[in-house]
Structure 1
Amino acid sequence: MPLIDPARALLLVIDVQVRLMPAIADGAGVIANTNRLAAAAGLLDVPALFTEQNAGGLGPTVPELAPEPGAAFAKMSFGAAQAPGFLDRVGDRDLVVTGCEAHICVLQTVFGLLDAGRRAFVVADAVGSRRPENRDAGLARMAAHGAEIVTTEMVMFEWLGTARHPRFREAVKLIK
């Protein structure tokens, strides 16, 4: 089924780190939409995993997202799927992917996930790069190779499935 099933999903937040985000075009928008998705994931029992690229150089995940203890995966490789233990952490879940940079770490991680047989949903309004043309090229290349390009609202409403969902009103408040 092409819809994102919350029972099979995992929110993957790639490298939204304190020293990187000031350089990202519309970094505030990437953080805001990732925060909405993280809050919705919490409401709907969708697990989340955060990666941190070279945390010694780029710092931890931004405080606005404050991952749970143990929810950050340290890596040095640009593609997280190539890092030892990463695929074990994500299991066979479908990945809803946000983060930076779209044309480097997001792209290489998504390609690794696709190569490993996982479904990847890349959230266009929650990924960024230092230059918009790099972001756009990364999204186009991922789509051409099998990633599904979605938006924050698409993900949230697919996770909800119905206006009768018991957490519908709480989730909708995250969008408005």
Structure 2
Amino acid sequence: MKKKWILKGIFLGSVFFISILLIKPIGISTQFSVTSGMIHSVFQDDIIFREGSEFYSLIDYYNQDGIAKNIMIPYNYGIIFIVGVFLGGMLGRIFFRRKEEFIENERLLEKDRISRIKLFIGGIFLLFGARMANGCTSGHMMSGIMQLSVSSIIFTIVLFPIAMIAAKRIGD
């Protein structure tokens, strides 16, 4: 029973390898930029334009990483991935978590009502930083290391000690 993590690691590694082999490296932060661009295009419909088979934007940020194209054609791998993350999390919570664990963790959050706000704001900062670094933790730590990307290896070496210190301080 204690060796279950090995099977999970092999499964996760296989999923990342197949994704890189067949589609593209796994990462999710770009899709949040696409989603915000889709919302932006509702209010300003000329923000994205097409020249031949290429898509461009009046905003330079949308011209990187294929964001402009994905704003105009949102039904793609990225949107399926982001919807899958939310659905997978929800289904995992419903079917694979013991009720006692959920109730205990919920009580921890209820002790400090501000915790949910802190978590939300922390998530915003994490996502903002991920976009500034042109990647997210899943993109750098999983896909990037599998591709032996030097920037991803450095990112992971720096992130782990900081995450352990933060977890230790918050956990107490």
Regarding TM over 0.5, the answer is: no
Larger radius of gyration: 2
Greater strand percent: which structure?
1
Q: Give the TM-score of the pair, scaled to structure 1.
A: 0.26
Q: Give the TM-score of the pair, scaled to structure 2.
A: 0.26
Greater helix percent: which structure?
2
